[in-house]
Amino acid sequence: MENFNPRPGQPLLSDLFNQTTSGAPVIIYLISNPQSFNLLSLTEKKQFISNLTYIVGQVKNGTKWTHRGTLNIYPTTNNQKKQLLELKAVKDVQIKCTPAMSETFVRGVIRNVPTGDAEEALLALLSDQAVTKDLASLITVRTGPYRESDHLPVMIDLDLNTSTNSAPNDHWTFHKDNWTKGNEDISQKLTQANYPMLINPEEVYHLFYKAIIEASERHHRPKKNYKESNKPWWTAE
């Protein structure tokens, strides 16, 4: 069996930056308003991707808009990854780029992995190796390179999309003195997001809901007793 021999001599710095990256994406956060890619229209998202690839070049397949309002981009080379991580703006849109935490994962050894099987077959095999089918939709399986070895590396990225934020309160006690301020906050939030121009019902709902919750958290307080009083302050005498 012929052994793999690296090119003699010290590698060039450009070689290191042009190497293929790992499977972990670069996570892009929207800093400019509305501070969430979920609140952008489909046209705005497409335009952002077009402007981004104009700057850094074409990226790998698998670009994903997450439910957290971020964008996952898979760079093709280490040089492109470095360029993404240093990027602060795409035209007039302010962003923040960070490496995915899934880049630091433990590589285990799974025995008897067939080298020619499709990803679906690998998932079935991994389900017997403590990777359950319940997690199948959350993982990305990659193989190789094995470089003439009889061991095939299998690398698994698990995207849990975890969040430490608790669910917003459903009931609030609205203070009369703060009612106008709360409404002004909601109006300002909707104006900044160009609310009247939104056409996607889901985006409209999420933006309006978020504006109400943020204003309630700022000017009112959660209500523990859900029973309404006989005559709330907003009821006509």
- Predicted confidence at residue 57, as pLDDT, reads 92
Sketch out the chain's domains with CATH numbers: 17-102 (3.30.70.330), 119-158 (no CATH), 172-222 (no CATH)
Those residues whose C-beta lies under 8 Å from the C-beta of residue 71, and which sit 6 or more positions away, are 27, 28, 30, 37, 48, 63, 64, 65
pLDDT in tens, 179-234: 888 888 888 888 877 777 777 777 778 888 888 888 888 887 776 665 656 666 66
Percent of the chain with pLDDT over 90: 16
- Predicted confidence at residue 95, as pLDDT, reads 95
> What is the Cα–Cα distance from 56 to 74, expressed in whole angstroms?
12
Q: Residue for token digits 């193989």?
A: 143
pTM above 0.75, yes or no: no
Question: Does pLDDT of 100 surpass 60?
Answer: yes
Question: Does pLDDT of 94 surpass 50?
Answer: yes
Percent of the chain with pLDDT over 70: 54
Mean pLDDT across the chain = 72
Question: Does pLDDT of 21 surpass 70?
Answer: no
